[in-house]
Amino acid sequence: MRRSRGLGRTVVRVVTVGAALAATIALLPAPASADVNSDRAKVAQLGSHIAQDGALVQQLVVSYDQAQVHEAAVDAQLEAAHARLGADRRAEARATVVLRQLALNSYMTGAENNLTLTLFESGDMTAVAAQQQYTHVATEGLSNAIDAVKVDAQHAQSAEAQLRSAQSQAEASVQQLAVARQGAQAALARDDTLLSQAQGNLQASLAAAARQRQAAEAAEEEAMAAQAAAAKAAAAQAAAATHPINVTVTVTPSPGSYADPLRAISALMPERIDQGVDYSGYGPIYAIGDGVVLSTVNSGWPGDTFISYRLSDGPANGLVIYAAEDIDPMVTVGQSVTAGTVLGTMYEGPDGIETGWADPSGDGTSMASDAGQFSGANSTAFGANFSQLLASLGSPPGVAQNDPPTGILPPGWPTW
């Protein structure tokens, strides 16, 4: 018997998927995007629709199986009726054979006037009377059985006709259910395609919403970082304004003059004032005046370059100057320099250069950092002072980021 097991498994799967999908959609967090909300609603509605359609198809499968069982039962009954009718016909045939045998036996065992022969051959009145007599004698024991067989055959023919009608009805029902099943399978296939499309749209919308949330979170974090940096800078400025710096600096002004260290830089462009002063451009950088080189490299600065030298004359005698970042050093530690000495060549790198006041040790730390004035992007008192020095020598001053700059200078620090 044909069974729709494959469809049954499909129905169960679709019903389960539809119900699970509706439950999952209900548990998803609600994103801010209107598109995502719309897609969520569509998928949830489609999941509910698939669950309902799946339940209907499942009922069709049960009805189809029941109709097939009924059709098989009718077929079996019809086969039994055929067998019974055949048996009745065979019994009738056997009875007829017996009847003929009795007539022959009667003829062979003592008929005086060829009665039995004329029974089958003559048509006159005497023969008819003899036939009636013979029939009464020969068939008395079989007539009742033959009549019963004929009646039973009639009943079997009537039952067969009824069964054929029932068989036609059962076949029609099975055909109708088969058509309904095919329609339901096609509907489920369409629903499955729509579900895949809706799920894909939902995933794309959720991904877009996630990217939007990440971008918003990143922007919020940047804003918070900027606020924190501003607060830190303000706190450092307040602390520097109310507390003396914790470094010891000896300034011993003496006769001597300084020269513009950036006088030979091509495409020189001033940038912000921070720990020192930032510039872009390319070309040779000179020492401001007489001094001794303390360092040329430091990995804590971009490009690993940090040239520092201690001035040995002039108003800032004893102070240390640095030039760092995108510079190829051309001096060595311990070397004496003058205003005509090239410290290094500035190249067009990604960071430019920064020059300003360095820690007295010349180890790679700025005075602004020692004094706690710098918080990452603000102008410091030491940077502003060095910008004024460069401007007094002929270089363009740097660009202030805040006014007044963060912090104060120690007593006795030279001004320009």
Q: 22-26, 90-94, 223-227, 251-255: lowest mean pLDDT where? A: 22-26
More confident call, 43 vs 379: 379
- By CB neighbour count within 10 A (0-12 exposed, 13-18 middle, 19+ buried), where does 274 fall? buried
Give the confidence band of 51 by pLDDT, cuts at 50, 70, 90: confident
Q: What is the pLDDT of residue 59?
A: 86
| DSSP-derived 3-state class of residue 399 | strand
Are 289 and 311 in contact, with CB atoms under 8 Å apart?
A: yes
Q: How many Å apart are CA 44 and CA 172, to the nearest integer?
A: 38
Q: How many Å apart are CA 147 and CA 59, to the nearest integer?
A: 51
Domain with CATH 1.10.287 in the chain: 5-213
**Of 1.10.760.10, 3.60.15.10, 3.90.1570.10, 2.70.70.10, which CATH number belongs to 266-393?**
2.70.70.10
**Which value, in Å, is the radius of gyration of the alpha carbons in the chain?**
58
pTM of the model: 0.46
Give the confidence band of 131 by pLDDT, cuts at 50, 70, 90: low
Q: What is the pLDDT of residue 305?
A: 98
Side chain identity at residue 383, one-letter code: G
Q: What is the pLDDT of residue 364?
A: 94
Half-sphere exposure of 262 (CA within 13 A, CB side): 30
Domain with CATH 2.70.70.10 in the chain: 266-393
Give the confidence band of 327 by pLDDT, cuts at 50, 70, 90: very high
pLDDT at 16 over 60: no
CATH topology of domain 5-213: Helix Hairpins (1.10.287)
Antiparallel, parallel or unpaired: β 277-286 and 353-358 = antiparallel
Q: 1-5, 144-148, 380-384: lowest mean pLDDT where? A: 1-5
pLDDT at 319 over 50: yes
Look at residues 329, 286, 289, 324 and name the one whose alpha carbon lies nearest to residue 310: 289
Are 318 and 303 in contact, with CB atoms under 8 Å apart?
A: no
Mean pLDDT over the full length of the chain: 81
More confident call, 356 vs 41: 356
